[in-house]
Amino acid sequence: LHSNGFSLVRKVFNVSGRNINMRISELGRTLGEELLTPTKIYVKPVLSLMEKVPVKAVSHITGGGFYENVPRMLRPGTAAKIERAALPRMPIFSLLQRQGSIPDHDMFNTFNMGVGMCLAVAKEDANRAVEELNASGEQASVIGEITAGDGGVEI
Protein backbone atom coordinates (compact mmCIF):
# COMPACT_ATOMS: atom_id res chain seq x y z
CA LEU A 1 0.00 0.00 0.00
CA HIS A 2 2.98 2.33 0.45
CA SER A 3 1.19 4.27 3.18
CA ASN A 4 -1.68 5.32 0.88
CA GLY A 5 -5.37 5.09 1.64
CA PHE A 6 -5.28 3.66 5.13
CA SER A 7 -8.47 5.47 6.17
CA LEU A 8 -10.32 3.75 3.33
CA VAL A 9 -8.61 0.44 4.13
CA ARG A 10 -9.77 0.62 7.76
CA LYS A 11 -13.32 1.46 6.68
CA VAL A 12 -13.48 -1.39 4.14
CA PHE A 13 -12.16 -4.02 6.52
CA ASN A 14 -14.17 -2.80 9.52
CA VAL A 15 -17.40 -2.95 7.50
CA SER A 16 -16.52 -6.39 6.08
CA GLY A 17 -15.79 -7.77 9.56
CA ARG A 18 -12.18 -8.67 8.84
CA ASN A 19 -9.55 -8.04 11.48
CA ILE A 20 -5.79 -7.72 11.17
CA ASN A 21 -5.12 -11.15 12.65
CA MET A 22 -7.16 -12.98 10.01
CA ARG A 23 -5.12 -15.06 7.61
CA ILE A 24 -6.24 -14.20 4.08
CA SER A 25 -5.51 -17.03 1.65
CA GLU A 26 -5.17 -14.79 -1.41
CA LEU A 27 -2.58 -12.68 0.44
CA GLY A 28 -0.70 -15.69 1.77
CA ARG A 29 -0.46 -14.07 5.21
CA THR A 30 -2.50 -12.16 7.76
CA LEU A 31 -4.14 -8.88 6.88
CA GLY A 32 -1.98 -7.19 9.51
CA GLU A 33 1.23 -8.53 7.99
CA GLU A 34 0.16 -7.26 4.58
CA LEU A 35 -0.80 -3.83 5.86
CA LEU A 36 2.44 -3.46 7.84
CA THR A 37 4.67 -4.08 4.83
CA PRO A 38 7.17 -1.20 5.00
CA THR A 39 7.02 1.52 2.37
CA LYS A 40 9.77 1.07 -0.18
CA ILE A 41 12.34 3.85 -0.48
CA TYR A 42 13.49 4.47 -4.07
CA VAL A 43 16.23 7.08 -3.59
CA LYS A 44 19.28 4.87 -4.16
CA PRO A 45 18.08 3.00 -7.27
CA VAL A 46 16.71 6.17 -8.87
CA LEU A 47 19.88 8.18 -8.20
CA SER A 48 21.95 5.32 -9.57
CA LEU A 49 19.75 5.16 -12.67
CA MET A 50 20.09 8.91 -13.20
CA GLU A 51 23.86 8.47 -13.52
CA LYS A 52 23.31 6.05 -16.43
CA VAL A 53 20.10 7.12 -18.18
CA PRO A 54 18.67 10.63 -18.65
CA VAL A 55 15.52 10.69 -16.51
CA LYS A 56 13.10 13.39 -17.66
CA ALA A 57 10.62 13.25 -14.78
CA VAL A 58 9.81 11.35 -11.59
CA SER A 59 6.54 10.88 -9.72
CA HIS A 60 6.22 9.16 -6.36
CA ILE A 61 2.78 7.52 -6.40
CA THR A 62 1.49 8.33 -2.92
CA GLY A 63 -1.88 9.51 -1.62
CA GLY A 64 -3.90 10.65 -4.61
CA GLY A 65 -2.78 7.68 -6.67
CA PHE A 66 -2.06 8.05 -10.37
CA TYR A 67 -4.57 10.81 -11.09
CA GLU A 68 -3.06 13.32 -8.65
CA ASN A 69 0.63 12.40 -8.77
CA VAL A 70 1.46 11.65 -12.41
CA PRO A 71 0.21 15.04 -13.71
CA ARG A 72 2.79 16.77 -11.50
CA MET A 73 5.58 15.35 -13.63
CA LEU A 74 4.04 16.31 -16.98
CA ARG A 75 5.14 19.24 -19.07
CA PRO A 76 2.48 21.60 -20.45
CA GLY A 77 0.82 20.14 -23.54
CA THR A 78 1.42 16.53 -22.53
CA ALA A 79 -0.58 13.73 -20.93
CA ALA A 80 0.15 10.24 -19.63
CA LYS A 81 -1.34 7.07 -21.03
CA ILE A 82 -0.98 4.16 -18.60
CA GLU A 83 -1.60 0.62 -19.87
CA ARG A 84 -3.68 -1.13 -17.21
CA ALA A 85 -2.50 -4.56 -18.43
CA ALA A 86 1.11 -3.52 -17.76
CA LEU A 87 0.45 -2.82 -14.09
CA PRO A 88 1.08 -5.44 -11.42
CA ARG A 89 -2.16 -6.86 -10.05
CA MET A 90 -1.47 -7.24 -6.36
CA PRO A 91 -3.91 -9.33 -4.31
CA ILE A 92 -4.38 -6.63 -1.63
CA PHE A 93 -5.89 -4.25 -4.19
CA SER A 94 -8.21 -6.91 -5.62
CA LEU A 95 -9.34 -7.74 -2.09
CA LEU A 96 -9.92 -4.10 -1.16
CA GLN A 97 -11.82 -3.38 -4.36
CA ARG A 98 -14.03 -6.44 -3.98
CA GLN A 99 -14.69 -6.04 -0.24
CA GLY A 100 -15.38 -2.30 -0.52
CA SER A 101 -17.14 -2.27 -3.90
CA ILE A 102 -14.70 0.48 -4.90
CA PRO A 103 -14.91 1.68 -8.53
CA ASP A 104 -11.76 1.46 -10.66
CA HIS A 105 -11.33 5.23 -10.86
CA ASP A 106 -11.42 5.53 -7.07
CA MET A 107 -8.87 2.73 -6.71
CA PHE A 108 -6.44 4.52 -9.04
CA ASN A 109 -7.16 7.86 -7.35
CA THR A 110 -6.49 6.53 -3.84
CA PHE A 111 -3.88 3.78 -4.14
CA ASN A 112 -0.67 3.27 -6.10
CA MET A 113 -2.02 -0.08 -7.35
CA GLY A 114 1.41 -1.65 -6.87
CA VAL A 115 3.40 1.11 -8.57
CA GLY A 116 5.36 3.14 -6.04
CA MET A 117 7.22 5.37 -8.48
CA CYS A 118 6.91 6.40 -12.12
CA LEU A 119 9.85 7.62 -14.15
CA ALA A 120 9.72 9.21 -17.58
CA VAL A 121 12.61 8.57 -19.94
CA ALA A 122 12.99 8.91 -23.69
CA LYS A 123 11.43 6.01 -25.57
CA GLU A 124 14.86 4.88 -26.78
CA ASP A 125 16.11 4.73 -23.15
CA ALA A 126 13.15 2.80 -21.73
CA ASN A 127 14.57 -0.72 -22.05
CA ARG A 128 17.92 0.31 -20.58
CA ALA A 129 16.20 2.06 -17.67
CA VAL A 130 14.13 -1.05 -16.93
CA GLU A 131 17.22 -3.28 -17.15
CA GLU A 132 19.21 -1.03 -14.81
CA LEU A 133 16.42 -0.85 -12.24
CA ASN A 134 15.77 -4.59 -12.36
CA ALA A 135 19.51 -5.25 -11.96
CA SER A 136 19.40 -3.14 -8.77
CA GLY A 137 16.66 -5.38 -7.34
CA GLU A 138 13.62 -3.33 -8.32
CA GLN A 139 10.66 -4.69 -10.29
CA ALA A 140 10.54 -2.18 -13.11
CA SER A 141 8.58 -2.26 -16.35
CA VAL A 142 7.26 0.08 -19.01
CA ILE A 143 3.67 0.89 -18.04
CA GLY A 144 2.77 3.61 -20.51
CA GLU A 145 3.86 6.65 -22.44
CA ILE A 146 3.76 10.42 -22.46
CA THR A 147 1.64 11.79 -25.31
CA ALA A 148 0.40 15.18 -26.45
CA GLY A 149 -2.49 16.23 -24.26
CA ASP A 150 -3.99 18.40 -21.57
CA GLY A 151 -2.01 17.22 -18.53
CA GLY A 152 -4.33 14.36 -17.67
CA VAL A 153 -3.83 10.67 -17.05
CA GLU A 154 -5.62 7.95 -19.00
CA ILE A 155 -5.62 4.44 -17.60
| pTM > 0.75: yes or no | yes
On whether residue 48 sits in a domain, the answer given is yes
Q: Could you report the per-residue pLDDT of 113-151, keeping only the tens digit for each?
A: 999 999 999 999 999 999 999 999 999 999 999 999 999
Range of the domain at 81: 40-154
Q: Could you report the per-residue pLDDT of 65-119, keeping only the tens digit for each?
A: 999 999 999 999 999 999 999 999 899 999 999 999 999 999 999 999 999 999 9
CATH of the domain at 106: 3.90.650.10
Quick check: 3 and 39 in contact, CB under 8 A? yes
On whether residue 23 sits in a domain, the answer given is no
* Number of structural domains found in the chain: 1
The CB-based long-range contact list for 39-42 (8 Å cut-off, 24+ gap) reads 39/2, 39/3, 39/116, 40/2, 40/116, 42/116, 42/117, 42/138
d(CA 3, CA 151): 25
Distant-in-sequence, close-in-space partners of 44: CB < 8 Å, separation ≥ 6 = 136
On whether residue 149 sits in a domain, the answer given is yes
Quick check: 88 and 114 in contact, CB under 8 A? yes
